């Protein structure tokens, strides 16, 4: 009877060690999963922040365009405004109007509203803006069509996704436009002679 107890006690010591090793392996896989989830959360948070900044910049320009309907056509840009443009960092020397608004919008897109160690830190990565005219206003009697303008903001995302349909910033974000994010709003500007 004594020999049976010794044999089962020896087996029990070995199984405890195996249970501990299996627990450590399971815990290690769980920690790897948590680390992967944490990195994805960081990317999603950055994407969300950049989209919020883009919405603010888009709203700012649509409000400026809507407030200056008489000169709406002067807001149309040949290229992009923001990262890589030739707008000055100080817009105080530019007279009030579309050029001044575009200068301030350019600086907002570049993140000039927040500085850190002398560098812009308040914007999106590679932010650019475009204003295009979709329909010219026609004040002719009997026609009276409003001018329609599209304000778009493009920026660089953290991971590649589907290529956006909007053309703003095309080809400026690497070999593939999968990193380019865009958002746009349409502004309709009525003609005063039709009222």
Residue 84 domain-assigned (yes or no): no
**39 pLDDT above the threshold of 70:** yes
pLDDT higher than 80, residue 5: no
Q: Which domain holds residue 133?
A: 2-73+126-194
Rounded to an integer, the average pLDDT of 112-127 is: 75
Is the pLDDT at 122 greater than 80? The verdict is no
d(CA 128, CA 81): 5
Cα–Cα distance for residue pair 97/115, rounded to 1 Å? 26
- 90 belongs to a structural domain: no
pLDDT at 62 over 90: yes
How many whole angstroms separate alpha carbon 109 and alpha carbon 60?
Answer: 11
Residue 57 lies in a domain: yes
Rounded CA separation 195/8 (Å): 99
Q: Is residue 156 part of a domain?
A: yes
How many residues would you count in the chain? 195
Residue 97 maps to a domain: no
- Cβ atoms of 161 and 178 within 8 Å: the answer is yes
Chain-wide mean pLDDT for the chain? 86
The answer as to whether 150 is a domain residue is yes
Q: How many domains does the chain have?
A: 1
Q: How far apart are CA 54 and CA 130, in angstroms?
A: 12
The pLDDT of residue 24 is above 60: yes
Residue 103 falls inside a structural domain: no
The pLDDT score that the predictor gives to residue 187 is 93
Collapsing DSSP states into helix, strand and coil, what is residue 93?
coil
Q: Average pLDDT of 82-103?
A: 88
pLDDT higher than 60, residue 104: yes
Residue 107 lies in a domain: no
pLDDT number for residue 89: 85
Please report the pLDDT score of residue 54 as a whole number: 93
How high is the pLDDT of residue 137? 86
Predicted TM-score (pTM) of the model is 0.78
- Take residue 149 and report the two structure tokens written for it: 């303008």
Provide the terminal-to-terminal Cα distance of the chain, rounded to the nearest Å: 109
Nearest to 77 by CA among 167, 178, 175, 181: 167
């Amino acid at each position: 009877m004594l020999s049976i107890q010794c044999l089962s006690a020896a087996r029990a010591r070995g199984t405890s060690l195996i249970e501990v090793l299996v627990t450590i392996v399971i815990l290690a896989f769980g920690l790897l999963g948590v680390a992967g989830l944490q990195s994805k959360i960081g990317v999603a948070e950055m994407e969300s922040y950049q989209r919020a900044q883009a919405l603010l910049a888009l709203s700012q320009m649509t409000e400026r365009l809507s407030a200056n309907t008489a000169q709406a056509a002067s807001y149309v840009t040949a290229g992009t405004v923001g990262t890589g443009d030739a707008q000055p960092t100080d817009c105080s020397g530019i007279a009030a109007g579309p050029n001044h608004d575009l200068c301030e919008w350019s600086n907002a897109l570049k993140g000039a509203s927040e500085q850190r160690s002398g560098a812009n830190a308040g914007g999106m990565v590679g932010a650019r803006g475009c204003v295009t005219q979709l329909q010219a206003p026609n004040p002719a009697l009997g026609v009276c069509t409003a001018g329609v303008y599209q304000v778009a903001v493009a920026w660089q995302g953290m991971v590649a996704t589907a290529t956006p349909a909007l053309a703003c910033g095309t080809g400026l974000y690497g070999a593939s436009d999968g990193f380019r994010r865009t958002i746009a709003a349409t502004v309709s500007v009525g003609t005063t002679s039709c009222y």
